[in-house]
Amino acid sequence: MMRLVTANRANHVLSSFIKSNDVTGNVIVPANICQSVIDTLNMVGMNVLYVDIDPNTYCADKGQSEDAAQAASLFLYVHTYGNEGECPAWVCGLKKINPNIIIVDDRCLCLPRTEWCADEDVDLVLFSMGPKKQVSLGGGGMGFVKDGLKYYNMQSIASASPDAICKKFFDLDELVLKTQHTIEHKKLINRIYSSCLPIEIQYPAAYQSWRFNINVPNKDEMLHHIFAAGLFASGHYKPLSEDCPIATEVYNRTINLFNDFYYSEEQARKTCEIINLWLRKMPEKDLKKK
């Protein structure tokens, strides 16, 4: 069983969890992680070990993570691009290599959930409702902590119901309603992108929830023309280690197209027009490179 905890930010949930359980030493993280997470880990005294990503899942590399597990006290599995799938079996299998390792299932780019009952042997599941997340309430983070592990947070309400805990930082009903509206809007915008853009540059559907992601050879030039038209897009987090070539290659070719409430159907169509215009100027061999 897991119990709900909240804070004003997901990183505060993470730091409180680490402090509450006296976790020290090395933490394994993928190179394509948000800088604010690294700042949080540094703040609580953890030593960061970067691993490269898998070219097929865009998440932490299995082999490198297993090699580092024996010397680590914590492993942070990040669902890149908000992939909603469960952690692969090897993640929980790290406990066979190191029975004392703590596993954090970082779902900050995923849709938040108000209940958690997945059959995974993880110690903390993390969600965020901060800016630029799937469901943004302007702030707020929550987690589900495995029974038997400690969680102390000055921001939490002791012995309160889950509803009461949530309402200290965000309204639970608002979260549920906005999540439903977010799903509907993203489907609408994603339908435009998926129908108007070449299939060969689109990421698999499982990675199109947080943003609609495309793989292009001329990322910087493409972003320049999108911005010049008064539109918006972004590149995912730049790798924080120079020793992770796959994460670097993925970053150099990935554009995140917006699909949130701030982006309209008209903007999405215009974005597609610009991308298609500049793709026609690219050699076909470059477009096929993944």
pLDDT of residue 162: 46
Neighbours of 73 (CB within 10 A): 20
Residue type, 176: V
Report residue 152's pLDDT band, with 50, 70 and 90 as the boundaries: confident
Q: Please check the confidence at residue 288 and state whether its pLDDT lies above 70.
A: no
Which three-class secondary structure state does DSSP give residue 278?
A: helix
Q: Which of 2-11, 14-23, 65-74, 269-278 has the lowest mean pLDDT?
A: 2-11
Report, as an integer, the average pLDDT of 184-203. Answer: 97
Residue ranges covered by each domain of the chain:
2-170, 175-287
Compute the CA torsion angle 42, 47, 50, 51 (nearest 10 deg): -130
Rounded Cα distance between 263 and 189, Å, is 8
- CATH code, 175-287: 3.90.1150.10
Average pLDDT over every residue of 232-251: 94
Evaluate if residue 33 carries a pLDDT over 70. Answer: yes
Cβ contact 263:189 at 8 Å: yes
The alpha carbon of residue 59 and the mean position of all alpha carbons in its chain are separated, in whole angstroms, by 10
Q: Indicate the average pLDDT of the chain.
A: 90
Q: What is the DSSP string of 188-253?
A: HHHHHHHHHS-GGGBPPGGG-SSSEEEE-TTHHHHHHHHHHTT--EE-PPPPS-TT-HHHHHHHHH
Residue 144 CA to its chain's centroid (Å):
16
2-170 CATH pick, 3.40.50.300, 2.30.30.700, 2.60.40.420, 3.40.640.10:
3.40.640.10
Residue 212 to residue 258: CA distance in whole angstroms: 7
- CA 215 vs. chain centroid, Å, equals 18
Summarised one tens digit per residue, pLDDT across range 58-112 is 999 999 999 999 999 999 999 999 999 899 999 999 999 999 999 999 999 999 9
Decide: pTM greater than 0.95: no
For 203-226, what is each residue's pLDDT tens digit? 999 999 999 999 999 899 999 999
Place of tokens 């849709």: 111
Q: Which residues contact 63 (CB under 8 A, 6 or more apart)?
A: none
